[in-house]
């Protein structure tokens, strides 16, 4: 038996713990923000201040995030339960998905690029 | 080789949560390999391919979603810890974020408002029902926030979950051709836009393409979750 538990599991326990601390703060404090997002903010603050914490969690976090796409599959397969409603309202659904997503991407990217260029001109050349 | 043992083995297999967990993982490994082989072409979206593969098997075998989810939940629950883990890339690039605070906050307010307002207006213009309009208003943000918002404004949370995933895939597919068309080469702007418009699925796409884009996407996703939770009920009440 090794004295230290493998370093993949300890960070995972920490991530789950932070989610529940966030969950507790959201419920007890009546904050309309999901627990995991509060957990994200807490970890960003803590790992920003404590370099050892950052390096402890780093590898596990990167491994999970490399396969972030996978985690959306179970909820996405839920589309099968709503095929009736989706067929009935296919036109507004397709219209919103395409047009609203397009507009949101455009508005966000143009605002960011326009202001970043003004404020941050010397760094403009390092973008690939 | 009679049919009976094979049939009874299928009965065992199809009720085993491990089978549906294994199918989801296997389908994802295949989809991710296909996506990598196309050089991460935006249309070869791994989430979309995996859902299509798994959905085909469920429909073909007449398996209901509850049976599937008994196995798939072990993947689903990791969404929470994965969201917490997004803090790591944000800390890694915090200097870059601090340098871009003004464009970041401006793009957040403009993008968040556009996301909710355009969804509501377009759904209404194309004759969507009141339930659909309320369910689709928070479509750009991560599922747990969006479902809470939908419940608050009279939508169907489970429908919202599906619309959120569909929005994520749409954003992840559209972002690269759209930004190339507009000649926006700034990875910060590209990442921030896709994280804001297409939450975690957009962020997953950004992380695959460029690390700086990934960080700004993660940040946009978190911040837009907060802003939309406040903004969507206000906009829904006005319209």
Which pLDDT tens digit goes with each residue over B192-224?
A: 999 999 999 999 999 999 999 999 999 999 889
CB–CB contact A115 B87 (8 Å): no
* A·B CB contacts under 8 A: 323
B130-153 pLDDT tens trace: 999 999 999 999 888 898 889 889
The residue out of B42, B61, B77 marking a domain boundary is B77
Q: Nearest CA to A109 among B176, B157, B1? A: B176
Please answer whether residues A109 and B96 qualify as being in contact, where contact means their C-beta atoms are separated by less than 8 angstroms: no
CB-nearest to A72 from B107, B168, B185 is B168
Please answer whether residues B83 and B142 qualify as being in contact, where contact means their C-beta atoms are separated by less than 8 angstroms: yes
Q: What percent of chain B stands above pLDDT 90? A: 75
Q: What count of other Cβ atoms lies within 10 Å of the Cβ of residue B105?
A: 14
Q: Whole domain around residue A41: which residue ranges? A: 1-66
CB-nearest to A33 from B104, B115, B229 is B229
- CA-CA distance, A40 to A23, in Å (whole number)? 11
- The number of folded domains in chain A is 2
- CA-CA distance, B113 to B107, in Å (whole number)? 10
CB-nearest to B76 from A75, A96, A101 is A75
- CA-CA distance, B239 to B235, in Å (whole number)? 6
CB–CB contact A69 B47 (8 Å): yes
The secondary structure of A43-55, three-state, reads HHHHHHHCHHHHH
> Which of A80, A104, A111 best tests the B interface by mutation, with the highest count of B CBs <10 A?
A104
Look at phi and psi of residue B39 and say left if phi exceeds 0, alpha if psi is from -120 to 50, else beta.
Answer: left
Residues B116 and B200 occupy one common structural domain = yes
Q: Return the CA Rg of chain A.
A: 21
Question: Residue B63 CA to chain centroid, in angstroms?
Answer: 24
A75-96 pLDDT tens trace: 999 999 999 989 999 999 999 9
ipTM of the complex: 0.89
Residues 6+ apart with CB under 8 A from A7: A56, A59, A60
Residues A3 and A53 occupy one common structural domain = yes
Q: Scanning every residue of chain B, which has its alpha carbon at the shortest distance from the alpha carbon of A93?
A: B123
Helices (H) and strands (E) in chain B, counts: 13, 0
Q: Whole domain around residue B132: which residue ranges? A: 83-238
Residue A127 in domain: no
Residues A55 and A104 occupy one common structural domain = no
Residues B57 and B93 occupy one common structural domain = no
Instruction: Find chain B residues with C-beta within 8 A of A81's C-beta.
Output: 65, 158, 162
| pTM listed for this prediction | 0.86
Q: Scanning every residue of chain A, which has its alpha carbon at the shortest distance from the alpha carbon of B71?
A: A74
Query: Per-residue pLDDT for chain B (239 aa), expressed as one digit of tens each?
Result: 556 888 888 888 998 999 999 999 999 999 999 999 999 999 999 999 999 999 999 999 999 999 999 999 999 999 899 989 989 988 998 898 899 999 999 999 999 999 999 999 999 999 999 999 999 999 999 888 898 889 889 999 889 999 999 999 999 999 999 999 999 999 999 999 999 999 999 999 999 999 999 999 999 998 898 889 888 888 888 87
- CA-CA distance, A21 to A36, in Å (whole number)? 9
CB–CB contact B24 A70 (8 Å): yes
Largest CA distance in chain A: 61
Residues B119 and B44 occupy one common structural domain = no
User: Which tokens belong to B231?
Assistant: 């903004």
- CA-CA distance, A89 to B129, in Å (whole number)? 8
Residues A60 and A2 occupy one common structural domain = yes
Q: What are phi and psi of A8, to 5 degrees?
A: -80, -35
Distance from CA of A72 to the nearest CA of B (A): 7
């Amino acid at each position: 038996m090794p004295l230290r538990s493998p370093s993949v599991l300890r960070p995972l326990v920490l991530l789950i713990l932070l989610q529940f601390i966030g969950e507790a703060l959201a419920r007890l404090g009546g904050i309309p923000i999901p627990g995991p997002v509060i957990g994200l903010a807490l970890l960003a603050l803590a790992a920003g201040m404590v370099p050892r914490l950052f390096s402890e969690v780093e590898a596990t976090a990167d491994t999970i995030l490399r396969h972030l796409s996978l985690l959306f599959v179970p909820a996405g397969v839920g589309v099968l339960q709503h095929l009736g409603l989706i067929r009935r309202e296919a036109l507004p659904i397709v219209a919103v998905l395409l047009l609203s997503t397009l507009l949101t991407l455009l508005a966000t990217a143009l605002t960011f690029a326009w202001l970043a260029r003004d404020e941050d001109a010397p760094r403009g050349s390092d973008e690939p | 080789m009679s049919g009976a043992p094979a049939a009874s083995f299928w009965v065992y297999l199809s009720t085993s949560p491990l089978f549906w967990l294994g199918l989801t993982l296997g389908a994802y490994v295949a989809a991710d390999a296909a996506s990598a082989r196309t050089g991460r072409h935006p249309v070869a979206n791994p989430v979309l391919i995996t859902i299509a593969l798994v959905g085909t098997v469920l429909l073909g075998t007449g398996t209901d979603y509850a049976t599937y989810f008994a196995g798939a939940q072990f993947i689903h629950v990791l969404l929470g810890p994965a969201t917490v883990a997004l803090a790591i890339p944000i800390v890694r690039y915090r200097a870059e974020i601090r340098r871009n605070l003004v464009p970041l906050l401006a793009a957040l307010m403009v993008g968040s408002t556009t996301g909710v307002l355009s969804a509501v207006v377009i759904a209404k213009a194309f004759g969507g029902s009141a339930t659909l309009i309320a369910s689709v208003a928070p479509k750009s943000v991560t599922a747990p926030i969006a479902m809470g918002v939908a419940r608050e404004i009279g939508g169907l949370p489970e429908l919202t979950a599906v619309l959120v995933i569909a929005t994520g895939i749409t954003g992840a597919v559209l972002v690269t051709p759209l930004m190339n068309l507009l000649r926006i080469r700034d990875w910060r702007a590209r990442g921030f836009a896709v994280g804001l418009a297409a939450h975690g699925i957009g962020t997953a796409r950004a992380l695959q393409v460029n690390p700086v884009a990934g960080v700004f996407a993660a940040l946009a996703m978190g911040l837009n979750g907060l802003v939309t939770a406040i903004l969507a009920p206000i906009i829904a009440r006005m319209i």
